[in-house]
């Protein structure tokens, strides 16, 4: 192999097997995709050690992708249940899975995940640091943090979220902003606490070049985490968020110079009228790098329904330039999600992503809807089920009630408009009795 990363290959004019696969899947020419990877506007997270991976591209001109978060916590330590969530995520079409386990020795689960999953695997090494190193936060050194990143890279994860933009300058902006929710990013809050306790600079910012060396070796994409993302509507688009975004833009170009692929993470809670402008601003400040948004949730008052608040915001975000949606489940803010919560979150995010792809004019996106329309016009129930994003739910709903005319449903029965029009346009008598 004459290259280490997809970006390095692309800059050398090489179309890799991963690029070939993605181009075929997306219906674009491999050379066009290669040029976008070279420019950094598309990332193909593909660790050399993740042999089960089915590669996907994230970024310019490609379908909006979905990420699923899972992993154990100190209060919920059932790895078998987490693996069932993996199966559910893959079944319903998630392209990426992030293992956010934050308790104990997580290596075994991550190893099994990498070995099994065709989806991209992401982690936040900061979460794993305390358990991996068996040190309390204040006693962890900068080199310790880098060692955890190295371990995750060697284990085969395709992308890592690194909160490198939360430097001293960004913290100054945060402290002056007077936020309602302070820092809601788990990794960001840990970095902030470590910096405050030790008096040191953010280790990932201070040793960024060394970090890039690790990522380059294994072709791990850096997902530049937004530690200062808003955790409520009131904190959206404030000086802390924007100040950190400027830093992330600078870190993006430094990574590209080292042939490390980049994604940039974006806001969590934000009113609908602010979303489009935030997408444009991110693309401008971060040089059109792929944008990975955590929602955004468009209202703060819907615990138990935040898969809906997130899908609304995700659809608006993706229609205006976001490339990658992190799902949100009904359990958000309340508990570790169940297997069923994962399904609900994935479906909601996929609906948002697909709706946005139609709006963006992604080639082939509307074809799916057109096939469903054709099936409905013919009252062809098997064909409708074939096109349903959740076939099992659609079939179960129909099976619960039996209309007199099996070609219709119990909503309209003999008054079904499709039935009426089909018969009328065929010159047939339309009887409602």
Query: Does pLDDT of 48 surpass 90?
Result: yes
Distance CA 21, CA 56 (A): 8
> Among residues 190, 183, 199, 278, which one has the least CA distance to residue 232?
183
Burial 14-44 (b: 16+ CB within 10 A, else e): ebbebbebbbeebebeeeebbbbbbbbbbbb
- Average of per-residue pLDDT across 407-411: 91
pLDDT of residue 242: 94
Mean confidence (pLDDT) of the chain: 95
pLDDT of residue 137: 93
> Among residues 57, 91, 411, 21, which one has the least CA distance to residue 221?
57
pLDDT of residue 129: 85
pLDDT in tens, 106-135: 888 899 999 999 999 999 999 888 777 888
Q: Where exactly does CATH 3.20.20.540 map onto the chain?
A: 6-360
pLDDT of residue 305: 98
Kindly report the CATH number that applies to the domain delimited by 6-360.
3.20.20.540
Report CA torsion sign: 39, 19, 47, 187.
Answer: positive
pLDDT of residue 131: 77
Whether the bond into 132 is cis, omega within 30 of 0: no
pLDDT in tens, 141-159: 999 999 999 999 999 999 9
Q: What is the pTM of this model?
A: 0.95
């Amino acid at each position: 192999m004459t290259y280490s990363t997809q970006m390095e290959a692309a800059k050398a004019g090489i179309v890799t097997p991963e690029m070939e696969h993605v181009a075929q899947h997306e219906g674009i020419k491999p050379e066009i995709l290669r040029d976008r990877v070279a420019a950094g506007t598309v990332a193909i997270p593909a660790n050399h050690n993740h042999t089960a991976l089915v590669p996907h591209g994230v970024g310019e001109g490609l379908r909006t992708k979905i990420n699923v978060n899972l992993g154990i916590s100190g209060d919920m330590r059932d790895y078998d249940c987490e693996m069932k969530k993996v199966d559910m995520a893959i079944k319903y079409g998630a392209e990426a899975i992030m293992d956010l386990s934050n308790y104990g020795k997580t290596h075994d689960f991550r190893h099994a995940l990498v070995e099994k999953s065709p989806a991209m695997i992401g982690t936040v090494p900061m979460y794993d640091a305390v358990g991996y190193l068996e040190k309390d936060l204040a006693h962890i050194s900068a080199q310790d943090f880098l060692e955890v990143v190295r371990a995750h890279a060697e284990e085969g994860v395709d992308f890592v979220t690194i909160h490198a933009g939360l430097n001293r300058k960004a913290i100054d902006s945060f402290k002056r902003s007077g936020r309602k929710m302070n820092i809601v990013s788990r990794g960001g809050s840990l970095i902030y606490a470590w910096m405050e306790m030790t008096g040191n600079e953010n280790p990932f910012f201070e040793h960024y070049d060394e970090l890039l060396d690790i990522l380059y070796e294994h072709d791990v994409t850096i997902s530049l985490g937004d530690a200062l993302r808003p955790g409520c509507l009131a904190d959206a688009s404030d000086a802390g968020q924007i100040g950190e975004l400027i830093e992330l833009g600078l870190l993006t170009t430094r990574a590209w110079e080292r042939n490390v692929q980049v994604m940039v993470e974006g806001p969590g809670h934000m009113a609908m009228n602010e979303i489009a402008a935030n997408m444009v601003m991110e693309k401008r400040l971060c040089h059109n790098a792929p944008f990975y948004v955590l929602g955004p949730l468009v209202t703060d008052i819907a615990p138990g329904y935040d898969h809906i608040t997130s899908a609304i915001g995700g659809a608006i975000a993706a229609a205006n330039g976001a490339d990658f949606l992190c799902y949100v489940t009904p359990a958000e803010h309340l508990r570790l999600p169940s297997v069923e919560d994962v399904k609900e979150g994935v479906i909601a995010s996929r609906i948002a992503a697909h709706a946005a792809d139609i709006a963006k004019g992604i080639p082939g996106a509307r074809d799916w809807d057109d096939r469903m329309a054709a099936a409905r016009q013919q009252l062809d129930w098997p064909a409708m089920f074939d096109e349903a994003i959740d076939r099992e739910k659609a079939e179960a709903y129909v099976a619960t009630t039996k209309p007199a005319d099996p070609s219709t449903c119990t909503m309209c029965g003999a008054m079904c408009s499709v039935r009426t029009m089909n018969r009328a346009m065929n010159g047939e008598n339309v009887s409602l009795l």
